[in-house]
Amino acid sequence: AGAGRWTVSSMLDAITQDTCLVTLMLANNETGILQPVQELFSALRQSPPRTRCPLLLHTDAAQAIGKVRVNVQDLSADMLTIVGHKFYGPRIGALYHRADPMVKVTPMFYGGGQEGGVRPGTENTSMIIGLGVACQLVSDNLVTYEEHMRTIRDYLRDQLIRNFKLVTSDEPVSLQAGQVCWRYVDRFCLPNTLSVRFGGFRGPELLSLCKEDIEASTGAACHTGGGVSNILLNSFLWGEAGAAETVRLSVGRDTSTQDVERVVKALKRAVEQK
């Protein structure tokens, strides 16, 4: 708890003789933390733990593609998941499946012969093409996208430091209104994401005061209504109270410095109303 990143030793401790699948998020969508998937999977390849069946290695790269370089061969993954709307494509996903007789996936529903017996239903051709185009744009422009998002994210960080009091400790201490804290803004984090704790406010309360200027969240949409996210509890040392004060701020390909300034002004106004 508190690190938000797996290590080889912690992963091996979690694997039992009955483990058949190891699946890791390449990048977390709430904190922006990058997992060392290449290091972890390479370790499993080199020294496989004793299990009843060979391990399948899967990574969910949905949040990483379009923001950082992703190469399935470098990751040593058997399977890799992508989702188009995470990188400006259509809302459709795809699963990379390594061509290997040892890598077998049994479908829940069986398709016809034209679908390889894997997935039933008519293919959504237009979305499949859109996903391919979005992937090509990422391949052609990733350096530009990544540099822009990192520059704007760092500008957001700097503007928060200028307008709020930064607390550098990640211990479970109480923050006052006007104080902010974050853990990762480095090579272990996505270039577009900043997970910020705002003292004196629960995340939804703060965002409701800024709803005219900010589209942000306190966590993943799939955890909405479920209380404080375990991802936040396990990624930082702030405790439940600190996790409840956390807001996920992210920037995109078109986010400008003017957009950032507007957001920070809105956050500052909200805090000053406290």
**Cβ neighbours of 56 (radius 10 Å):** 18
Verify whether residue 222 is a known catalytic residue. Answer: yes
- Phi-psi label, residue 107: left if phi above 0, alpha if psi -120 to 50, beta otherwise: beta
SS3 state of residue 160: helix
Tell me how many helices (H) and strands (E) the chain has.
8, 8
Burial status of residue 161 (CB atoms within 10 A of its CB: 0-12, 13-18, 19 or more): exposed
The residues near 166 (Cβ < 8 Å, ≥ 6 apart) are: 160, 179, 180, 181
Cα–Cα distance for residue pair 264/257, rounded to 1 Å: 11
d(CA 265, CA 269): 6
d(CA 134, CA 262): 29
Q: Which of 53, 135, 189, 222 is catalytic?
A: 222
> Rounded to 5 degrees, what are φ and ψ at 65?
-65, 135
In three-state secondary structure terms, 21 is strand
- Report the C-alpha gap between 241 and 181 in whole angstroms: 13
State the catalytic residues.
222
